[in-house]
Amino acid sequence: MSASIDIDIGGTFTDCFVTYDGRRVWCKTRTTTYDLSVGMNEVIAEAASRLDLDVTKLLADTEIIRYSTTLAMNRLIERKGPKLGLLMTSGFEDTTLIGRGTQWADGLPAKYQRNLARIERPYPLISKDLIVGIKERVNSEGEIIQPLNEDDLLGKIQYLVDQGVRGFVVSLLWSFLNPQHENRIKQLIEEEYHPAYLGAMPVFLSSEIAPRIYEYPRTMMTVLNAYLHQSMYEELSGISDELRERKYQQPMMMIHNTGGMASVLRTSAVNTYNGGPVAGLMGSSYIGRLYGARNVVTTDMGGTSFDIGMVAEGSPRFYQFMPVIDRWLVDATIIDTHSIGAMYPSKCRITWPMVI
C-alpha cells in the first residue's frame, strides 16, 4: 500500500487531501493557531477515519507529505516577528530606511499611490536604533580594502543585545562577492552566544540568503527571512515531531513560492511566503487541463487574505523578478500571485490594504 498526503494550513482552516491505494478523500478542520500541529493531526485523523484506517497505519504507508501554508504571510501581516538587530557596513546604516525611490508606493494599489498627500513609508521591521554600522569594507571586485574591526564589532553586538534583540541580520557591501567578513561576524556572535547557551541567537547572512547584487533588496530579503524564521521553525519542528511519533518515516516537503518544493531542512522561511496560493495555482492549472481550459483565473478566499492567480495559455509559471513582499522590494524569483488582506500594524498611523 502507498499513500500521499497534501496539507494546506491557512489562517482559518487546515485542508487535507489524501490518496491511498487509488482512493481519494478530502477533509477540513479549523486551524489551531496556538499550535498548528494539533489541527494538522486532527485533519489527518479525519482523513484516516474516512478511509477506515488507523492514523498510524496511514502514516506508515505514506510515501510523501506535501505541506503548504500561509503562516509566513500571516505572521508578516500581523507583525508578530521577533526583535532583530541589523549589522551593515559603516556609512550605509540607512539603506533599508531610505530604500529605493519606489519604496513610498511599493505594495500599495494605484488608488493609494496617487494620494501623494497621505502616502507614507512603511514602518520598518528593524528600527533605526537597532541598526549599527560595522567598520569594514570590501570593494566591487571582492577585495578587502578595510579589514574587519573586531573590537568595534563586539561592542556593537553587546549594544544590540542590551536593547533586547533576539536575532541578528548581517548585510555588508559586496558580501555576495566575498563573504569573508560576514562569515567572521557570524563566527564571533556564535562564540559570544554559543548555541549551547540559553542566550543563543540565530544569525542570518545576506551572502547565504540572497547572494546577489543590489544591497537594498538583498538586505530586505535577509531581514524578512530572519523576521519569519523563528515562528516557522517552532511550528514546523512541532509538526515534524508529531509525524515521527506516528510512524511517518519520510521527510516533510514544503511547497515553495517558486512552484517547487524541498524538505523542511532545505527550506528558508522566506521561500514559504505565498506558498499556499502558489500551490493552489499549480493545482488549478492541472484541473484546467483536465477540462481543456488553457486560461484560468484561480482564487483562494481565506480568513486572513484573498489570493488570486492566473493560468495563461496553459502555463501557471509567470514569475516576478524583484517582487514586493508586503511593502518591501526583495531579491527573489517567485510565481506571480496577488494577495489582498487587512494589515493592522500597531505603530502605523494609516492602515492600507496589503497588495503583493
pLDDT of residue 324: 87
CA 8 – CA 17 distance, rounded (Å): 9
Residue 312 is assigned to a structural domain of this protein:
no
Phi, psi (degrees; rounded to nearest 5) at 7? -120, 135
Q: Which residues pair with 257 in a beta bridge?
A: none
User: Within the chain, which residues score under 50 in pLDDT?
Assistant: 342-356
Domain with 161, as residue range(s), is 81-227
Residue 276 is assigned to a structural domain of this protein:
no
Residue 59 is assigned to a structural domain of this protein:
no
Residue 259 is assigned to a structural domain of this protein:
no
CB 16 within 8 A of CB 49: no
Per the prediction, the chain carries an average pLDDT of 86
Residue 142 is assigned to a structural domain of this protein:
yes
pLDDT of residue 343: 46
Structurally, how many domains does the chain consist of? 1
Cell triple for 137 = 569594507
CB 342 within 8 A of CB 351: yes
CA 221 – CA 58 distance, rounded (Å): 38
Residue 175 is assigned to a structural domain of this protein:
yes
Residue 167 is assigned to a structural domain of this protein:
yes
DSSP helix/strand/coil, 42: helix
pLDDT of residue 355: 37
Q: Which residues pair with 205 in a beta bridge?
A: 170
pLDDT of residue 133: 97
CB 296 within 8 A of CB 288: yes
Q: Own/partner pairs for 151-159, CB < 8 Å, 24+ apart? A: 153/87, 153/185, 153/188, 154/188, 154/192, 156/87, 156/132, 157/85, 157/87, 157/188, 157/189, 157/192, 159/132
R_g over Cα of the chain: 22
Residue 180, amino acid: Q
Residue 319 is assigned to a structural domain of this protein:
no
pTM comes to: 0.83
Share of the chain above pLDDT 70, in %: 93
Q: Which helix (H) or strand (E) holds 20?
A: strand 13-20
For 258-268, write each residue's pLDDT tens digit: 888 988 878 88
Count of C-beta atoms within a 10 Å radius of residue 242: 18
